[in-house]
Amino acid sequence: MKILVLGASGQLGHLLVQVGERRGLTVLGTYRSHPRAGLLQLDLLDFEATRHTIQHIRPDWVVNCASWTWVDGNEDDPQRAQRENVDTVAVAAAAVTESDARWCYLSSSYVFDGTSGRPYTEEDTMSPISVYARTKVQSEEISRTYFGSDALIVRTIVVWGPD
């Protein structure tokens, strides 16, 4: 199995590449502005470059970890949040539809307002209360628009690891 991890210079993407490689999978990762050894540079706002990369690599899965996760920064700069958390997803999803790859989008539990008093399920209504959360909701909607029920959307709570 061949997996392409978008946003592999970030904490989660980096760990996914490492874990995949340890399990014997072929895992390739991309970065935009924070290079790490062995990763491919890719601007996810560039449709042609993204499409070319996906067509060249021919992955079985594309896992989108690319995101601007600084919640306070998203509040201060909603235009950047839109560009980095939504527009990049739209470009990547459109490019993936021109391949045979499956799609996995890494979202966040921030899509919920935290007031339910019980654990959330996939069926619960999203109620974002921040710019960051709204961008995650939009990106989930983009994922569903392009891939329907085949979209794999993973909502993380807190990401931590050895780094």
pLDDT for the residue numbered 38? 87
Query: pTM for this structure?
Result: 0.94
pLDDT for the residue numbered 163? 63
CA-to-CA distance for 14 and 85, rounded, in angstroms? Answer: 18
CA-to-CA distance for 66 and 98, rounded, in angstroms? Answer: 20
H/E segment holding residue 108: strand 102-108
Task: Extract the tokens encoding 72.
Answer: 């306070």
* Nearest alpha-carbon partner for 98 in 133, 52, 151: 52
The DSSP secondary structure of 149-160, one letter per residue, reads GG-EEEEES---
Number of Cβ atoms within 10 Å of the Cβ of 45: 15
pLDDT for the residue numbered 130? 97
Task: Extract the tokens encoding 80.
Answer: 């950047």
Collapsing DSSP to helix, strand or coil, 13 comes out as helix
Single-letter code of the amino acid located at 140: E
CA-to-CA distance for 87 and 119, rounded, in angstroms? Answer: 30
- What is the block-wise mean pLDDT of the chain (163 residues), using blocks of 10 residues? 95 93 96 86 97 97 96 97 98 97 97 95 95 98 97 89 68
pLDDT for the residue numbered 157? 86
132: annotated active-site residue:
yes
Could you say which of 105, 110, 132, 146 is catalytic?
132
